[in-house]
Amino acid sequence: MASRSRVNFVRYGGWKAGTLNGTDYSEPAVVGRHSCTDETHPGPPYRTGGPLLVSKKTVSFDRTPSFFSRTLFLPVQEWSGHLTVDANVPEVEPTHMNLSGWGSKGWNRAFPVHPIYNLGVSLAEIRDLPRMVKQTWNFFGGIRNLSFSRSPKSVGEALFHFGRGTSEAAGDYLNLQFGWVPFLQDLAFLLDMQRKLAQKMAWLKKHNNKSVRRNFEMDASGFSEGLDRFTYPFATMKPTLTTELYKGYLLDWQNIPVQKTYKRRIWFRSKWRFMIPELNDNSWRNKALQFALVGLVLDPSVIWKATPWSWLLDWFTNVGAILQNIYLRARFHCVAEYAYVMGSEDYQYDAPGFTEVNTGQQWYHSYPLPFETYWPGSLKLAGVSRTYFKFRQRVEANPYGFGITFSSLSAYQWSILAALGLTRGGRSFATRA
């Protein structure tokens, strides 16, 4: 489908704030940018969706009530109008996140024909059992021999024992979380494997060559932090008046932080169809399917997971998910009728402002002496102006995964789509490029 982009610039603020010494002054103004990039789909009704990116930059100004302030002596200073809290727009404006990695993770999680366990990985890691037993034995031996009666002779000795104890505690924790916990989970699965495998096979038979929906939330997070902003209090409100109209304490340089808040949400929506002919017979292919469902087939994803420290790399990347996606697509005739990973991000910058102005018209009297000038009153003003950055994204997958185009599909992959009735000539992909 043809892609299109629309951009609209919106001006926020910039209205007349008031008159200073006979000259009109305007409040602050910020130009916001609203943009949308998507694809044109035939409709209405619009039955399919494509890639989408919506971004908005908006500003909400906080305005004070109008007031009047006028000095007595030449040069006379006079203001009539309101003040506006100055919004904070970061020098480097935020940009939207990259959803490509989340697409691979969501695809791997949503794939309906998934092994119910990875016994191949467990068997490969059984070699670590002697080390686990030895480290656990040393842990309990250390507790048994622990003595509280002996105190360290020096600060250096105390720090040595503290560092050694911290290191050993970290090793014991890793031994528990990544050694014994998975090992006990494997034992629990083996005891219940036959029942779980029968349930999985029954589910596959029920949904074979039928549509299956998988929708879930992948992430919801956020944070808030204060950003330093050193300025004069009176300068947080615009326009800036002459100093005689402010209270004197407002001329001190201060840190008036801007509060930054960030929230994001990532979710996955998909609809699948698979066709496994060997489900309906008792041949060796059915047995091979059962071996694959419990993770006893030596595929690239099993080799990867059995590689030392691969779990740590998968914490920061999606290598394991990509490898398993490639194998599952090749092993099971399963494709996505549609699959989307979607994300929303919200940035908010709260810029506070405060000041105190002398109000009314200044006057004086000479009794009692000495001569003094007065203001009839003062007005404390405060508020918060906000700057928002909002991003909405949708990334679309090909029936065989994210980052794959229809032009790159092989004849065999097209034959699978045809067998499932999901070619571009069919209803599901009629509007897709």
How confident is the model at residue 420, as a pLDDT? 65
- Tokens 């407002």 found at: 250
Report the percentage of the chain scoring pLDDT > 70: 59
How confident is the model at residue 138, as a pLDDT? 57
**Alpha carbon distance 35, 9 (integer Å):** 9
At 373, the pLDDT band (50, 70, 90 cuts) reads confident
pTM (two decimals) = 0.70
The single-letter code of the amino acid at 409 is: L
At 111, the pLDDT band (50, 70, 90 cuts) reads confident
pLDDT in tens, 16-62: 999 999 999 999 999 999 999 998 876 666 667 789 999 999 999 99
Q: Is the dihedral of CA 414, 416, 419, 422 positive or negative?
A: negative
**429 pLDDT more than 50:** no
Higher-scoring residue by pLDDT: 100, 344: 344
**197 pLDDT more than 80:** no
How confident is the model at residue 108, as a pLDDT? 82
- Tokens 């996955």 found at: 268
**Reduced 3-state DSSP string for 75-130:** CCCEEEECCEECCCCCCCCCCCCCCHHHHHHHHHHHCCCCCCCCHHHHHHHHHHHH
At 428, the pLDDT band (50, 70, 90 cuts) reads very low
8 A C-beta contact, residue 38 and residue 50: yes
Mean pLDDT of the chain: 76
On the question of a cis peptide bond just before residue 28, with omega within 30 degrees of 0, the verdict is no
At 168, the pLDDT band (50, 70, 90 cuts) reads low
**Alpha carbon distance 94, 389 (integer Å):** 7
pLDDT in tens, 201-250: 888 888 888 889 999 999 999 999 999 999 988 899 999 998 889 887 76
In DSSP notation, 146-199 reads --SSPPPSSHHHHHHHHHHHHHHHHHHHHHIIIIIHHHHHHHHHHHHHHHHHHH
How confident is the model at residue 248, as a pLDDT? 73
At 151, the pLDDT band (50, 70, 90 cuts) reads low
The single-letter code of the amino acid at 248 is: G
pLDDT in tens, 269-316: 999 988 777 676 665 556 667 667 766 555 555 555 555 555 555 555
pLDDT in tens, 379-425: 999 999 999 999 999 999 888 888 777 666 666 566 666 766 665 44
A 10 A CB-CB count for 16 gives: 11
